[in-house]
Amino acid sequence: MLEVRDLDLFYGDAQALDDVALDVGEGEIVAIVGANGAGKTSLIRTIAGMNRPARGSIRFEGAEIAGEPSHRVCNLGIGQVAEGRQVFPTMTVRENLELGASLPRARSGAREMMDRVLGLFPRLAERLGQAAGTLSGGEQQMLAISRCLMGRPRLVMFDEPSLGLAPTIVQDVFAIIRQLNADGFTIVLVEQNVAQSLSLAHRAYVLESGRIAMTGTGADLLDDPGVRRAYIGL
């Protein structure tokens, strides 16, 4: 579904991605792990069309999208749940969701998707008229995920979806990602909970200083002594 090759990204003179190659097959959960500053967010933002790569190819369902603007990438079916629970705080839950459906690809199916999303997140259904900024942290993350789904993505990229959430809510977030995958969404997952994201992922990539250092099944990387030492602390 997604095929990244020879990808280089610079911020000024500083290279953030160096010759990155990565594949995501339809129906997979693919995790990207790496230390702070390794380039995980940079990679997601480059795929999403928010960073312009200096070199390389990004193909989504056969179409070249490297360097395409983000609205066009979104409209092809790549959704992103950005770091830090990006909701519009003064808008209501319903308005946030409607905004998610403003993509051309999503307009016709908005009502059906709203029903589906509210079925998945009954807490949001009870709070449709409430200002998003007054939701709890966990509820805001559910709303951020829901707003992304309203755009009818086929591939959903999550950047640190559990960051700053209470442990019980973290479990909910992982359960939701598993559910979305079972419902047919393909997933790219960047997570600080490396052990959990590797156990959830079919395959994973380790990013070190902008380069892919290792790749394998989630289970293989979870068993790898180097990965455990560097990212799991065991």
Ligand X SMILES: Nc1ncnc2c1ncn2[C@@H]1O[C@H](COP(=O)(O)OP(=O)(O)OP(=O)(O)O)[C@@H](O)[C@H]1O
- Binding site residues, Mg ion, CB under 5 A: 40-41
- Residues in Cβ contact with 21 at an 8 Å cutoff, skipping those fewer than 6 apart: 4, 5, 6, 7, 212
Q: Which is closer to ligand X, CB of 107 or CB of 229?
A: 229
Query: What DSSP string describes 54-110?
Result: SEEEEEETTEE-TT--HHHHHHHTEEEE-TT----TTSBHHHHHHHHTTSHHHHTTH
Query: Smallest distance, Å, CB 152 to ligand X?
Result: 26
Least gap, CB of 215 to ligand X (angstroms): 16
- Give the strand order in the sheet containing 29-33: 78-81, 155-159, 186-190, 29-33, 203-208, 211-217
**Binding map of ligand X across residues 19-58, x = CB under 6 A, - = no contact:** ---------------x-xxxxxxx----------------
Q: How far is the CB of 232 from ligand X (least distance, A)?
A: 15
| Nearest residue (beta carbon) to Mg ion | 41
Contacts of 111 (CB under 8 A, 6+ apart): none
| Paired tokens of 117 | 């999303």
Burial class (CB in 10 A: 0-12, 13-18, 19+), 158: buried
Secondary structure (3-state) at 6: strand
x/- site string to ligand X, residues 144 to 183, per CB under 6 A? ----------------------------------------
Size of the site for ligand X (CB under 6 A): 11
- Least distance in Å: CB of 82 to Mg ion? 10
Find the shortest distance in angstroms from Cβ 179 to Mg ion: 24
Nearer of residues 42 and 80 to ligand X, judged by Cβ? 42
Residue 13 found at the interface with ligand X (CB under 6 A): no
| Rounded distance between C-alpha atoms, residue 229 and residue 234, angstroms | 6
Nearer to ligand X, 34 or 56 (CB): 34
**Which of the listed partners (ligand X, Mg ion, none) does 16 bind, with a CB threshold of 5 to 8 Å by partner kind?**
ligand X
Task: Tell me which residues touch ligand X (CB under 6 A).
Answer: 11, 14, 16, 34, 36-42
